[in-house]
Amino acid sequence: MSLDASHIQRINELNESTKNITEKGVFLGLGTYLNVESNYIVIKFKKVGSKPHKLAWSNISSCLKSADISRSASGVRLQRIKLFRDIITNDKVGSVWQTPSVLRNSWNYSMVNAYDKSSDLKAKQLRYILQNESFDRAKAWCDRKKKSFDDEQLLAGLGFVCIVLESVMSNIADRLLID
């Protein structure tokens, strides 16, 4: 995460350690439970040199690579998790998926016609998925997705990732200490 002066000040106010964060930058936050009964979590921040987007996707990717998903899911659910992992990790030789950062950079900086009618049509599935936060449209897209990997499908995959992550955050929101 990228921390500016206001973030650092707030973290240091809540900090129970004698060590404070003293400079702005990109940090990796590592959380661990100390006491499960009281939901007390310790977060250790480590300054890293990576760009924030690259670091975020790299961390999610490493978590997914190390998880044994076949033990906790099967059938359609396992296929959805594998698709999510494939889109995020994109480390297979010949992978057709672009990581979210690469896709974002391509559409934001490289595609000079990203705002014309043809590009708008390519984003049709993405908009359709994002208009429904209940995960129904994202699941339906995943279950029926085409085998072609054109721009429309790559963007829809990004929408799928967005809805999955939003669902995760909604599911853990009540466990986070946010004031």
Task: Give tens-digit pLDDT for 62-80.
Answer: 887 777 777 778 888 888 8
- For residues 78 and 39, membership in a common domain is answered with no
What is the per-residue DSSP string for 18-32? S----S-EEEEEEEE
CA atoms of 77 and 58, how far apart (whole Å): 23
pLDDT (0 to 100) of residue 135: 82
Is 174 contained in some domain?
no
- For residues 104 and 26, membership in a common domain is answered with no
Please count the structural domains in the chain: 2
| Residue 107 pLDDT class (50, 70, 90 cuts) | confident
- For residues 137 and 88, membership in a common domain is answered with yes
Q: Is the pLDDT of residue 146 over 70?
A: no
Average pLDDT estimate for 115-139: 82
pLDDT (0 to 100) of residue 93: 59
Is 6 contained in some domain?
yes
User: Which stretch of DSSP H or E encloses residue 44?
Assistant: strand 40-48
pTM for the whole structure:
0.70
CA atoms of 62 and 142, how far apart (whole Å): 22
- For residues 11 and 95, membership in a common domain is answered with no
CA atoms of 154 and 98, how far apart (whole Å): 7
Is 100 contained in some domain?
yes
| Residue 48 pLDDT class (50, 70, 90 cuts) | confident
Structural domain including 106 reads 73-169
- For residues 11 and 82, membership in a common domain is answered with no
pLDDT digits (tens, 9 = 90+) for 76-99: 888 888 888 888 886 565 678 888
Is 86 contained in some domain?
yes
